[in-house]
Each structure stands twice: as C-alpha cells, then as structure tokens.
C-alpha cells in the first residue's frame, strides 16, 4: 500500500517566550533532549524515578513486565490513586487550597478545598462499601459536570471499584449497552443536568437503561435540577441522604498497581464502542508527569481543561493529572455559548484562569462566532494554551495564539488517545519551539515513529503511520472482555508496534504532523492525501471557519474531493465563493488537492466529543444521504439538513 503524501507547507516557527522559559520546569530544548535521551537509554530507571515522586504503600519488584503486547508496570507494588490525589496533600500547605473550582451553567459556584474534597470522597467511599461495592466491581457514572462526578470517580478509585464514566449527552441505549458490557452493579447519576438552558433528563435515561441491565443493583442520584423524577424504592438512593449517615474517615485501599482503575468506552467515529481498560499505577504515573511537564503546572496556577469528564481528556486532565499534582482544577458544567458566546471568556476573566486546554473544534467555533466576544474580557491571566482531539489547522492555531493568547502564551498541541491514557507527543512549553499544526516531539519516555505498512521507518516528510514502539506506563492494558480484539486492533496491523490509526509525517527537525485518521485518507489519481492538509488550506481562507474534506468515487481519478465548508458569521454562501475556494486550495497546496465540489453548510456532523464524522459525510457525498450508524452523532438535524440540501448547492 502506498504511504501518504504530504502537501502542506507550514514555515512559521514560534520560540518559547524567554520569560516563560526561564520560569518553566523544563527550560530549553537541550534540557528536553537530555531527558529524552536518558529515558530512551534507560526507560525503566526513568519511569521508576518519576513514580517515586508519588505514594506507594509497598514498592514494586519489577518496573516493567513486557510480554508483547501485554504490559505490567510497577509489578507487585501497591498504591491508591485517590490517596495520591488527596491524602498526599493534606500534610502540606495544600490542605486548604482549592482543589476544584466549579461553575454551573445557571451561574451557581462552588469551591472545594483539598481537605473538603478528601472528606467528601471518604464519605462517598463509605457509601460505596455499604452498598456492597468491592474491589474490582464495576460502577457506571452518568452525570453532569458537577463536583460530585469527581467525588464519585475518586471514591471508586479509593475503594478499588472500576469506574466507567458515560458522557451525560449519551442516550439511554448507549448507557444500557455500556453498562451491560461492563457488567456494572451500581449506577451513579443525577436527576438532570443543564445544557444551553435546558434540562437533560439523566435519571429518566437511567430508568430506561436499567430496565435491561440485570447486573445493576442500586442507583445513586444527585439532586441537581430538582425536577420531579420517577423513583424505585430500594434501588434508588439520593446522594445527599446516603452521605449524611456516612463517616468522613476512610482508609484508602492499597491496590495492586495493575488493578483496573477504569473502563472508558471510546465513542469512535466508526464501529462498535470498545471498553478501553486502564490500570492504576501506570496510568497514575503517566497523567501525573504529563500534567507537570506539558502544562508546566505550578502551585499558583488555575488550570482549566474544558473537556467533559465523560472523555479521557476529562479523566486525565480535569481530575487525575491536576489533582495528583496538587493543582487547582476548574470545571464548568455547560455550553460555551450560553447565555452568550463569551461564556468561556467570562469564566477566564472571573477566575483568573492561567492555563486553558480545549479542542480545535471549539476553537473553530470561537472563530466563527467572532473575536468581538473574547475582546470584551480581560484574558491577561492566561499564560499557557493547549489543544487536543484533532489536528489543529494552522490558521486556527494562529487565531488561538493571537486572539486568545495575546501573542504571549505558548501553545501545546498535545497528541494522544483514549488508549494512550496520557499525552504522548507535545511541545514542552518552555523548551520546544512550536510550528502551527504540529504536535512537535514525543515526550521523554515515549518512542514514537512514522513508518510504512511493513514497519520500516520513513524519512523526513514522508507520510505514513504514527506508531509507538515501546510500552509506556499509561497505555491501555486490554479491551474489556475482548483481549483478542486488543491484539488485533492495536498490535497486528503493523508488525511489532502499537498502531491506533493515525497518519502522520515527521519533518526534517523531527517534528510530528498528524494528518488525520488513515481510514479517511483520500486517493486522488494514485496520490494518497490526508484530510487535514486540504482542510487546513481551505480554513486558511479568511471567510472560512471550518471545513471537512472527504473522497467520493470518481471514475477517472479513483476518488474526487468533496469539501463541506462552514463560513464565518456574516459571509454569504455565494456560488462565486465556491470557485474562489477551489482556486485558493490549488494555490496553497497544489492543483492535485483542488476540491471537485464545495458544499456550504451551517454546521458539520460531529461526534459528541467534537470530532467531525467524515464517515457520514462520505456517505452523503457519494449517495446523497447517510444511512450508517449515527449513535455517536451530536446533532441529528445537521445530517438531515446536509442530506436534503445536497442537490441544490
């Protein structure tokens, strides 16, 4: 199979501002290179040293047991992640520091200190034990983004229950299927949550789901909205009632390092959800270190990762990474455009957020809404920006840099996956010069490469498959209930290495440029093109906010290129603009990539975590309608509009 051709040329380079670098944990490229080299030479010694910064009830006898593709890290050691996130800080000045700053969508506010959070978690851990939850039991969490979701996760971690958080935007059916796959005994939920001023009926969905989940014995319900809900006596328990009777003293259970911490179902853009299994010790070490280095986190930072806790980004960088570092983490329950498109900027201003971590899809929405919204607020508290979830188009990167960061804040474009547990390839903000659109270099301890299908390393700027060649502590351990699928999915496609589906190239400086999922690669007249590069060329046009590119069958060329384009507010989708955009792409990256067709659309179909569902667009581009699986789609109406309006544009 041919590798992937790269056509994007991006020459801009941004050095870490000297003031930022001099105060950073890792201050120069040299320092990074030394750390990287050390970790490569002696990975087990490197990771053991990091692990020693955390608390273990008893030590490991072996750092790594690697029986490919099965890994065990910190073999034989006992630890507890909730202990490391809470108890470890109580004997220090962090005891009365804000662990969690929270704002609800209606504007209600709570601040929870480390000591308070510890007590809440202890209480809830006692509740779990009283309901018969034992180490290894599975617990579903289906909640809005409120402090109790963190309490629930940490309490599970404390007693050794394996949690499985299902994003509150998922349906009853999705919850049912995941609950059955996990075989969970308990569901933790709320009566409802707020989203764009409306109540999401979480408890009603749970009632619907647990009709067909034979393993579920109890349901715990946080009273959030006060709406009236159905109640099954004996099965249902109000959170505030059960914790009232519970003691706030609880000894964290020493758990084996390889004890399963959580199962997280990947929403994926294709196929049936998979229950990704992460374990305790390695995941803890990976999220701890990446938070510390990539976000350069300091005692006085207010760190805001905007992800919902229902995604891995929320697990690792709203809850476990920041708390294991003793940092202040922020959480906001609702939508970024409620009541107006400046809610995020209002929050940054109100809480003096210093580190802001969000997704390219969100940034493209901000661009579409216009810079008048951030301009209304004082954002000078920001010192560092981050992105995750998709390749970021260079123009979106530039907007983020200029408009939000005031040209002052480094940007960390962090590449990782649910499966990797923690950030893998990313700048270190005080050390790594950044290039818009590149996630730069692997973190120390991560051995990444770009290879051909046969596993051969490719040279500079040759597009191929992004792989990880050595085990790392926070890697997934298996797919719940389906070890064969684990082997097949991640370790069979390319000989001897981990591969989870992304195409990439590495430039002459060793920088990684992710080109999108390999399933989305378009084959035009024998040239295999990644979607990201063509999309980036379209997005670099000043009138465009967002673009998604897919292939459709073409008799002559193999595949033709169809681009779905969203314009910035205030621009009309005139037919002349279609020609202008086609020429713009030809000029930016070459005639080969000139789209055969441009379709304007108000919105693109996205997964609930914000990734563009190119699979559905492919169907629309070739058949006029999408008939495939749409269960992970955020907004069904987008698809309907696209399908019916397809002919007239």
Of 537, 598, 593, residue with least CA distance to 393: 537
Q: What are phi and psi of 212, to 5 degrees?
A: -120, 35
Q: Which is nearer to ligand WTA, 56 or 415 (CB)?
A: 415
Question: 143, 220, 439, 475: which one contacts ligand WTA (CB under 6 A)?
Answer: 439
Alpha-carbon gap, residue 525 to 633, rounded angstroms = 32
Question: 80, 280, 290, 418: which one contacts ligand WTA (CB under 6 A)?
Answer: 418
Neighbours of 303 (CB within 10 A): 25
**Could you tell me the smallest distance in angstroms from the CB atom of residue 242 to ligand WTA?**
33
Bridging pattern class, strands 218-222 and 384-387: unpaired
Binding mask 307-336 for ligand WTA (x = CB under 6 A): ----xxx-----------------------
Alpha-carbon gap, residue 259 to 278, rounded angstroms = 9
Q: Each residue of 520-548: b (16+ CB within 10 Å) or e?
A: bbbebeebbbbbbbbbbbbbbbebbbbbb
Alpha-carbon gap, residue 88 to 411, rounded angstroms = 30
609 binds ligand WTA (CB under 6 A): yes
Sheet of 411-413, strands arranged across: 109-113, 98-103, 328-332, 302-305, 355-358, 384-387, 411-413
**Could you tell me the smallest distance in angstroms from the CB atom of residue 45 to ligand WTA?**
28
Q: Which is nearer to ligand WTA, 326 or 445 (CB)?
A: 445
Q: Which is nearer to ligand WTA, 113 or 489 (CB)?
A: 489
**Could you tell me the smallest distance in angstroms from the CB atom of residue 609 to ligand WTA?**
6
Question: 140, 216, 388, 451: which one contacts ligand WTA (CB under 6 A)?
Answer: 388
Q: Do residues 491 and 525 touch, judged by C-beta distance below 8 A?
A: no
287 binds ligand WTA (CB under 6 A): no
Give the dihedral sign, CA 252/417/274/186: positive
The region of 335-343, 479-487, 500-508, 580-588 touching ligand WTA under the rule CB under 6 A is: 500-508
Question: 334, 391, 464, 530: which one contacts ligand WTA (CB under 6 A)?
Answer: 391
| H helices, E strands: number in the chain | 22, 30
**Could you tell me the smallest distance in angstroms from the CB atom of residue 223 to ligand WTA?**
31
Q: Which is nearer to ligand WTA, 148 or 520 (CB)?
A: 520
Alpha-carbon gap, residue 364 to 567, rounded angstroms = 10
170 binds ligand WTA (CB under 6 A): no
Question: 390, 395, 449, 535: which one contacts ligand WTA (CB under 6 A)?
Answer: 390
Question: 417, 432, 531, 578: which one contacts ligand WTA (CB under 6 A)?
Answer: 417
87 binds ligand WTA (CB under 6 A): no
Question: 56, 416, 486, 490: which one contacts ligand WTA (CB under 6 A)?
Answer: 416
Angle between helices 575-589 and 531-539 (to 10 degrees): 120
Q: Do residues 159 and 137 touch, judged by C-beta distance below 8 A?
A: no
State the residue number with the nearest CB to ligand WTA.
Answer: 418
Distance of CA 20 to the CA centre of its chain: 25
The region of 54-62, 454-462, 496-504, 584-592 touching ligand WTA under the rule CB under 6 A is: 496-504
Q: Do residues 385 and 356 touch, judged by C-beta distance below 8 A?
A: yes
The region of 79-87, 97-105, 498-506, 638-646 touching ligand WTA under the rule CB under 6 A is: 498-506
Give the dihedral sign, CA 121/117/184/321: negative
Q: What is the largest CA-CA distance in the chain?
A: 73
Enter the tokens of residue 428: 């270190």
DSSP state of 221: E
Q: Which is nearer to ligand WTA, 425 or 598 (CB)?
A: 425
The region of 21-29, 107-115, 416-424, 598-606 touching ligand WTA under the rule CB under 6 A is: 416-424
**Could you tell me the smallest distance in angstroms from the CB atom of residue 418 to ligand WTA?**
3
415 binds ligand WTA (CB under 6 A): yes
**Could you tell me the smallest distance in angstroms from the CB atom of residue 428 to ligand WTA?**
15
Q: How many residues belong to the site for ligand WTA (CB under 6 A)?
A: 21
Question: 517, 606, 614, 615: which one contacts ligand WTA (CB under 6 A)?
Answer: 517
Q: What does the binding site for ligand WTA look like in residue numbers (CB under 6 A)?
A: 266, 311-313, 388-391, 413-418, 439, 500-502, 514, 517, 609
């Amino acid at each position: 199979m041919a590798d992937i051709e790269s056509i994007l040329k991006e020459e801009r380079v941004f050095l870490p501002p000297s003031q930022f670098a001099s105060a950073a944990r890792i201050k120069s490229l040299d320092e990074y290179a030394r750390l990287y080299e050390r970790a490569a030479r002696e990975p087990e010694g490197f990771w053991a040293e990091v692990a020693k910064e955390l608390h273990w009830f008893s030590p490991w006898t072996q750092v790594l047991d690697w029986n490919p593709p099965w890994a065990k890290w910190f073999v034989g050691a006992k630890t507890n992640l909730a202990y490391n996130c809470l108890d470890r800080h109580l004997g220090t000045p962090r005891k009365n520091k804000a662990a969690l700053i929270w704002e609800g969508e209606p504007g209600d506010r709570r601040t929870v200190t480390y000591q308070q959070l510890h007590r809440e978690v202890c209480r809830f851990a006692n509740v779990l034990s009283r309901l018969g939850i034992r180490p290894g039991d599975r617990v579903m969490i289906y909640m809005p983004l409120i402090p109790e979701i963190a309490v629930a996760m940490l309490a599970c971690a404390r007693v050794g229950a394996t949690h499985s958080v299902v994003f509150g935007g998922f349906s009853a059916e999705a919850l049912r299927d995941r609950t059955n796959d996990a075989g969970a005994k308990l569901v933790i939920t709320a009566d409802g949550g707020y989203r764009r001023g409306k109540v999401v009926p979480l408890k009603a969905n749970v009632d619907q789901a647990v009709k067909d989940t034979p393993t579920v014995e109890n349901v715990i319900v946080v009273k959030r909205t006060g709406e009236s809900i159905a109640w099954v006596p004996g099965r249902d328990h109000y959170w505030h009632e059960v914790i009232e009777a519970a003691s706030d003293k609880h000894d964290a259970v020493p758990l084996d390092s390889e004890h399963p911490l959580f199962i997280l179902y990947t929403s994926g853009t294709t196929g049936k959800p998979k229950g990704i299994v992460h374990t305790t010790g390695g995941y803890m070490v990976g999220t701890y270190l990446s938070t510390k280095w990539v976000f350069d986190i300091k005692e006085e930072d207010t760190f805001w990762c905007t992800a919902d806790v229902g995604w891995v980004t929320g697990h690792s960088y709203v809850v476990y990474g920041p708390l294991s570092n003793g940092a202040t983490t922020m959480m906001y329950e609702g939508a970024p455009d409620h009541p107006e498109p400046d809610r995020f900027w209002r929050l940054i201003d109100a809480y003096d957020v210093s580190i802001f971590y969000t997704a390219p899809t969100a940034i493209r929405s901000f661009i579409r809404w216009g810079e008048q919204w951030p301009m209304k607020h004082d954002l000078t508290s920001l010192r560092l920006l981050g992105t995750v979830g998709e390749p970021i188009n260079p123009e979106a990167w530039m907007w983020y840099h200029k408009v939000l960061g005031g040209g002052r804040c480094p940007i960390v474009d962090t590449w990782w996956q649910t499966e990797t547990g923690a950030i893998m390839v990313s700048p270190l903000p005080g050390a790594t010069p950044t290039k818009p659109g590149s996630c730069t270099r692997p973190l120390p301890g991560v051995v990444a490469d770009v290879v051909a299908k046969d596993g051969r390393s490719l040279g500079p700027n040759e597009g191929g498959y992004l792989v990880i060649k050595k085990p790392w502590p926070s890697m997934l351990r298996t797919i719940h209930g389906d070890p064969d699928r684990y082997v097949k999915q991640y370790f069979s496609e390319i000989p001897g290495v981990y591969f989870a589906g992304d195409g990439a190239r590495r430039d002459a400086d060793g920088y990684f440029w992710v080109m999108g999922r390999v399933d989305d690669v378009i084959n035009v007249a024998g040239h295999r093109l990644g979607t990201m590069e063509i999309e980036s060329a379209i997005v670099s046009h000043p009138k465009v906010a967002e673009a998604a590119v897919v292939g459709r069958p073409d008799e002559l060329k193999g595949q033709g290129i169809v681009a779905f384009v969203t314009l910035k507010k205030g621009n009309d989708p005139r037919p002349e603009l279609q020609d202008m955009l086609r020429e713009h792409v030809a000029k930016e990256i070459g005639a080969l990539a000139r789209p055969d067709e441009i379709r304007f659309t108000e919105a693109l179909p996205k997964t609930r975590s914000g990734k563009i569902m190119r699979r559905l667009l492919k169907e629309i581009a070739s058949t006029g309608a999408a008939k495939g699986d749409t269960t992970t789609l955020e907004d069904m109406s987008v698809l309907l509009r696209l399908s019916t309006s397809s002919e007239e544009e």
